[in-house]
Structure 1
């Protein structure tokens, strides 16, 4: 078993998506994949909101930044804040999800994730918050371009964010990558099963076999062990 990281999740996403598209075709496959991705993302955002409420924090965009459930490793991302006030605009030039899909010829399948995930997590956190995803690198752009409405990334807010995220809260809001992979597997499986019935079994078996071939049976057993987890609650 290899220690899980974001690349495990990126590959699992793409392998599931590929199995869906190969089974039912591009158009219907994209519809189901994007539906499942949106549900997954909103569940993540909902958990973030629950943690924020427990700590007495308002569900603002600055709180959203604070309660994100993962932390990038050094070198994973190359991004730049190009606008700070009142909306925050970010250009992402390097992303580990994009890199691993490119390295493994999975871009046509992984790319659907980027069309829904940021919008879904923000909406799950607070339905009144908005992020505009203007373009994404996995879908052919030179860089990802996202605008977080009322993001207010001024110096004061960024210092408050860094203190709360990395010192006060620390690892309390972070979920390990095994959890994120288990969440991906369960939610995608549930939606695909709802949409395709018994055909979903072969789709998920195919995706899990790809995962096993790369990471080993023990890693796959960890992913499937989350099958009965409630990802709507913390």
Structure 2
């Protein structure tokens, strides 16, 4: 190893996921245009529904109903220091505010937020639906425009 090269820390799986997603999106768009990006959005929704069903199964294994109150307690994705967020439990909903998101940061730094938006706009509503078909995700603010993301989950 040359002396001027420094050892790099391992890259977060979140960053690697975001990079893989962008590469896939760019190639789908290059090959198929908007139709390719539509297929990607459909795939994100399918992935989200699958994750939501797994979250519901986790709740059931713990003897819990798939209610809004139990949604985040059984969530499937770890939260690290790469995410900054708060959860607020209200009588009829759970609201989250993210002020830091490694996915959005990765896409913005690479100038690929176009592709990140496909993921961000589709994933949480699909996870909520997979968890409980009556759970609605209201995504009012998004990192790319508002420097934060807000989500409210409530039953229809």
TM-score, with length taken from structure 1: 0.57
Answer 1 or 2: higher relative contact order, Cα 8 Å, separation at least 6: 1
1:209 is matched with none
2:142 is matched with 136
Residues of 1 paired with 2:54 and 2:76: CA distance? 9
Match of 1:61 among 60, 68, 85: 68
Q: Which has the higher helix share?
A: 1
Match of 2:126 among 105, 120, 125: 120
Asked if structure 1 preserves the Cα contact closer than 8 Å seen for 2:69 and 2:94, the reply is no
Deviation at 1:93, TM superposition (A): 2.1
Asked if structure 2 preserves the Cα contact closer than 8 Å seen for 1:82 and 1:89, the reply is yes
Deviation by residue 1:139-171 (Cα, 9 ceiling, x = unmatched): x33321211116xxxxxxxxxxxxxxxxxxxxx
TM-score, with length taken from structure 2: 0.82
Secondary structure at 1:133 match in 2: strand
RMSD: 2.0
Residues of 2 paired with 1:78 and 1:3: CA distance? 18
2:41 is matched with 34
Q: Which runs of 5+ in 1 are unaligned?
A: 151-234
Residues of 2 paired with 1:141 and 1:4: CA distance? 25
Match of 1:145 among 140, 150, 154: 150
Map 1:94-113 → 2, pairs under 5 A: 94-113=100-119
2:77 is matched with 70
Asked if structure 2 preserves the Cα contact closer than 8 Å seen for 1:61 and 1:129, the reply is yes
Q: Which has the higher strand share?
A: 2
